[in-house]
Structure 1
Amino acid sequence: MKQTASSPLPLGGIEVRSIDYVPENERHGKVRDQGPFWFLGNFQFFTIAIGFIGPSMGLSLGYTALGGIIGILFGTLFMAFHASQGAEMGLPQMIQSRAQFGYRGVALVLIGTLFTFVGFNVVDVVLMASGLHGIFGWSEVSITVVTSLIGMLLAIYGHDWLHRVFKWIFYLSLPLYIILTIAILLGAAGGKVPTSNGFTWVAFAAQIAASASYNITYAPYVSDYSRYLPRHTPARSIIAAVFCGAASSAIWLIILGAWLATRLGASDGLVALYTSGNAIFQGFGALIALSSIAAMVATMGLNAYSGMLTVLTALDSLRKLQPTRRLRVVVIVALTLLWGGIALATSVNAISMLFAALTIMLYLLVPWTAVNLVDYFLVRRGRYAITHLFTPNGIYGSWGWNGLIAYTIGFVATIPFFVLPDVYTGPVARLIGGVDIGWLVGLLVSAISYALLMRWQDASREEDAIQSSEWALGHVPLSPAAVHHSEAVAVRT
């Protein structure tokens, strides 16, 4: 594996690293930054719109809040456990997945993850353009172009700038939402108590599924932003920081969204923020709405950055490439044109689009996260030959058939349980009244399938490769047995 010399970035520098390994001497991240980073990742009106899903189906405030809490706590568990992999391996999330799906086979799984990144940014842009047009009458085309360009620039400058900007916006946004929440509790933000107290299992399950998917869809890229942490950072510290940050902000704003939907009849998160904010005092609505826009644009940068890593991983899996800065920029620009073009062409209702996109992302990503976590925590227990992830001739091979089969079985198993309103409802889902449990089926089936397929895997057979990899990365001295293994790999590659 070719290593490119670099050093921590100066204030104005563009990141050097992309899909390559981050050496120990460049690990300058801090665990204390992970909580605020992922807190802000959910601290914008996209999250508020998830709180509209239950009420739009007749669910009450209390049941919507309960469904949101259950879904977020469940989904964030998977996201947080993935975060610990970044520090240990020093790699982007999807490069790690070559251990389960193979050097070339991972490209098939990357289709679903790329859809996630592009899909989130399309929905982000549609929501922002609709909301700002509704508040200020601004041109939706101009909003789409400007926000896309800012997100693109953040992605180009990369990891350090994303962490830096997220921290600034966190300190800006937090006091504003605290003021709004206190005003709601004191009855100073307007609204009226509805006379109905609705509940259906279909609406409750839909709220849980949408909330769970919200943080599960962070799973394919959460370790992209923890890979600069020191290698021996305790896993429990990373997991706790990410879990607390991502779960707390999401629960807060989903409940806030449910209140706005049931008490103000809101159907647009940004307009609702503006209206309830101005009920406190004139001008506060614009301030909190614009802070939420800033957080969403920063999150678009995050999606674009991880989308770039996904594309480069896929291209490198098909044909070996050198991950240069120029290539990073070209891919990010191309992704910007893609999501911007789709956003300009769509006229789908924002809430329907949000729910459908999140549901599809969940069906695609759940089998992957099940396979990846079972492999990392139960099969290989965090022991990987990192250098072998960069060659099709290494111990993980070109095609990881066990991973691909388990993923396929898990995804196919979800199809009869699909619930996509106005698009498709699977036969089993119809039998149980349209309750969406497909994502849970996919999770369990993929995890069990992979565990069964790998039960004869002898992890000790990979030890020589792991030792030679650790030596190549400067972590440990090379044992005599690993010397022979290293020489054999060199001949093959």
Structure 2
Amino acid sequence: MRIEASGRGIVERPLDPALQTMAIDRVFWSHFSPNLAPSAWVIGVLVGLMGLDVRTALLALVAGNVIGGLPVALCAAMGPATGLPQIEASRLAFGMAGKRVPALINWASCVGWDAVNNVPSTVALVLLARACGVALPFWLALGLLALAQVLAGAAGHDVVQAIEKYLGWVLLAAFACSGGFALLHLGAVPPLPHEVGLAGGTARGADLALAIRAVASFNLAWAVYASDYTRYLPRGTPPRRIIALTFGGVCASALMMEMFGLLTARAMGDASPGAVIAGLGHLAGPLAPLALAAIALSSVAINAANDNTAAYALMSAGIRLSRPLSAGVTAGLAYLLSVAGAGRFAALYENYLLLALYWIAPWCGIVLADWYGRGRAHPRDDAPDGWAPGASLFVGVTVLTILLFSATPLYTGPVARALGGVDIGYLVGFVAAAAGQALLVRRGRVARPVPEIA
């Protein structure tokens, strides 16, 4: 395996075509394995405890995965042509200065995701150690996991993707066996709490919208990572293959884990990591140690990729740190956040998922409209200097959708109130930002001479 270069050039300059030799199968694994995580199981439990009937809850899972997964796949197809990490590639629409805003936001989001992924994995590792007769304190278990993650993330994309591929097989087998045994233990598909359909009116519609939004957010968050793990493909790789493998990887693993969470929601009782892990351990019976080991290992798969992407983002934001040091800073801050927020995991996780959509959706709409609006014909080094109109559009749409459409425990916008608490801000943000950028491209305000890429 090759250690990735640590200087700023590995982020800011398109890859030398001689480095673009990655095997196509790694596209699937780098998007499949990170979703084999307890955070996806928790989403299923959250949806199962929202008061929806089984069919409506399943609809929320499928719709949310499609809504969140398709933009990720479309972004991933940009990798070979640009040779740039995903956030850095957004300079084509945002400008060299403008891309620093989403880069810094994404780095902060990566710190949050690290913490979100670490808490349940650390709880599982503590319980596994206890079952083996070892008293392992939370802070030490978390430190061991964080160390493994940051070492892998600091090594770079090749090590990260090898981990995703080979650990992915282990996690798939462990979670499939543990989840299957848990469902057999239940004996049948359990009724979800409050068997109520959408006929209940606006309240049920708000619950469905909230469920779809939470599920979509989990997948859509990978859009800002997507080309990080496809840019090493040969430049002539067909975009359709990249899109298909990315979409299949992201959605297949997330849907499997969320389904397990949904169907075991009643047995879990609540979505705190302690309740979910204890419930899974009880239902898995003799496979409980296997389930706990899989949960503990899963954070290495997901946060190795997370720390590597965070390093790219911090460097794209203009912070002059090396890539390994940037990954270490991310992991260190996430460690502190994990310790501080472990006792309020469920509430923090749900709010974090919903808030992430407010900026990722418009960012994604602008990037995709710009890229595909030009026929994927960007030169690899072509980006406007300074602050491009796309960056202004991003800030404006993000702020307006939060003010008008958001529905959170902290604030509810006037449109969301009028809709009975239904928050469609992320959809409006994506569409409005994409339409605005498409209009800019069409009118030529950000047009540049571009050659066609075969």
TM-score by length of 2: 0.89
Give CA deviations for 1:96-141 in whole Å, capped at 9, x if unaligned: 1111111111112223212221110121123333454566474221
TM-superposed deviation, 1:190: 8.7
Report the counterpart of residue 292 of structure 1 in structure 2.
295
- Given that 1:406 and 1:447 are in contact with CA atoms closer than 8 Å, whether structure 2 keeps it comes out as no
Give CA deviations for 1:121-176 in whole Å, capped at 9, x if unaligned: 12112333345456647422112212111111011111111111111211112223
Give the partner amino acid of 1:31: I
Say if 1:372 and 1:191 are closer, same or farther in 2 by CA, change over 3 A: closer
Give the partner amino acid of 2:20: R
Quick check: 1:397 aligned with 2:389?
no
Unaligned runs of 5+ in 2: 198-203
Quick check: 1:57 aligned with 2:44?
no
Cα distance in structure 1, aligned partners of 2:443 and 2:190: 61
Report the counterpart of residue 31 of structure 1 in structure 2.
24
TM-superposed deviation, 1:277: 5.1
Report the counterpart of residue 10 of structure 2 in structure 1.
18
Which of 411, 421, 425 is matched with 1:424 structurally?
Answer: 411
Cα distance in structure 2, aligned partners of 1:459 and 1:82: 20
Report the counterpart of residue 154 of structure 2 in structure 1.
156
TM-superposed deviation, 1:181: 4.3
Give the partner amino acid of 1:158: G
Cα distance in structure 1, aligned partners of 2:193 and 2:407: 29
- Given that 1:86 and 1:226 are in contact with CA atoms closer than 8 Å, whether structure 2 keeps it comes out as yes
Point out which structure has higher relative CO (alpha carbons under 8 A, 6+ apart): 2
Which of 254, 258, 261 is matched with 1:257 structurally?
Answer: 261
TM-superposed deviation, 1:331: 1.5
Say if 1:227 and 1:362 are closer, same or farther in 2 by CA, change over 3 A: same
Report the counterpart of residue 340 of structure 1 in structure 2.
335
Give the partner amino acid of 1:87: P
Report the counterpart of residue 5 of structure 1 in structure 2.
none
Say if 1:149 and 1:189 are closer, same or farther in 2 by CA, change over 3 A: farther
Cα distance in structure 1, aligned partners of 2:172 and 2:187: 17
- Given that 1:154 and 1:301 are in contact with CA atoms closer than 8 Å, whether structure 2 keeps it comes out as yes
Give the partner amino acid of 1:366: A
Say if 1:100 and 1:141 are closer, same or farther in 2 by CA, change over 3 A: same
Give CA deviations for 1:189-232 in whole Å, capped at 9, x if unaligned: 79954573134122211110011111111111110000110000
Report the counterpart of residue 84 of structure 1 in structure 2.
77
Larger CA Rg, structure 1 vs 2: 1
3-state SS in 2 of match to 1:218: helix
TM-superposed deviation, 1:64: 2.1
TM-superposed deviation, 1:313: 1.0
Say if 1:425 and 1:347 are closer, same or farther in 2 by CA, change over 3 A: farther
Give the partner amino acid of 1:437: I
Give the partner amino acid of 2:379: A
**Number of residue equivalences:** 439
3-state SS in 1 of match to 2:429: helix
3-state SS in 1 of match to 2:10: coil
Q: CA RMSD in A?
A: 2.5
- Given that 1:145 and 1:340 are in contact with CA atoms closer than 8 Å, whether structure 2 keeps it comes out as yes
- Given that 1:371 and 1:446 are in contact with CA atoms closer than 8 Å, whether structure 2 keeps it comes out as yes
- Given that 1:112 and 1:365 are in contact with CA atoms closer than 8 Å, whether structure 2 keeps it comes out as no
Say if 1:31 and 1:430 are closer, same or farther in 2 by CA, change over 3 A: same
Which of 25, 41, 47 is matched with 2:40 structurally?
Answer: 47
TM-superposed deviation, 1:440: 0.7
TM-superposed deviation, 1:59: 2.5
- Given that 2:182 and 2:283 are in contact with CA atoms closer than 8 Å, whether structure 1 keeps it comes out as no
3-state SS in 2 of match to 1:454: helix
Report the counterpart of residue 386 of structure 1 in structure 2.
380
Say if 1:79 and 1:60 are closer, same or farther in 2 by CA, change over 3 A: same
- Given that 2:104 and 2:314 are in contact with CA atoms closer than 8 Å, whether structure 1 keeps it comes out as no
Quick check: 1:365 aligned with 2:360?
yes
Cα distance in structure 1, aligned partners of 2:87 and 2:325: 20
Cα distance in structure 2, aligned partners of 1:185 and 1:51: 14
TM-superposed deviation, 1:446: 0.8
TM-superposed deviation, 1:245: 0.9
Cα distance in structure 1, aligned partners of 2:179 and 2:138: 29
Quick check: 1:307 aligned with 2:310?
yes
3-state SS in 1 of match to 2:14: coil
Quick check: 1:100 aligned with 2:93?
yes
Say if 1:254 and 1:286 are closer, same or farther in 2 by CA, change over 3 A: same
Cα distance in structure 2, aligned partners of 1:157 and 1:452: 41
Say if 1:190 and 1:147 are closer, same or farther in 2 by CA, change over 3 A: farther
TM-superposed deviation, 1:297: 2.0
- Given that 2:52 and 2:194 are in contact with CA atoms closer than 8 Å, whether structure 1 keeps it comes out as no
Report the counterpart of residue 215 of structure 2 in structure 1.
211
TM-superposed deviation, 1:83: 0.4
Which of 105, 108, 111 is matched with 1:118 structurally?
Answer: 111
Quick check: 1:413 aligned with 2:400?
yes
Unaligned runs of 5+ in 1: 1-8, 390-395, 476-493
Bigger drift between 100-109 and 188-197 goes to 188-197
Cα distance in structure 1, aligned partners of 2:230 and 2:142: 30
TM-superposed deviation, 1:249: 1.0
Which of 179, 190, 198 is matched with 2:196 structurally?
Answer: 198
Give the partner amino acid of 1:292: I
Report the counterpart of residue 142 of structure 1 in structure 2.
140
Report the counterpart of residue 165 of structure 2 in structure 1.
167
Say if 1:387 and 1:208 are closer, same or farther in 2 by CA, change over 3 A: same
Cα distance in structure 2, aligned partners of 1:51 and 1:195: 13
Cα distance in structure 1, aligned partners of 2:193 and 2:347: 25
Give the partner amino acid of 2:219: N
Report the counterpart of residue 490 of structure 1 in structure 2.
none
- Given that 1:173 and 1:288 are in contact with CA atoms closer than 8 Å, whether structure 2 keeps it comes out as no
Identity %: 26
TM-superposed deviation, 1:307: 0.5
Quick check: 1:267 aligned with 2:309?
no
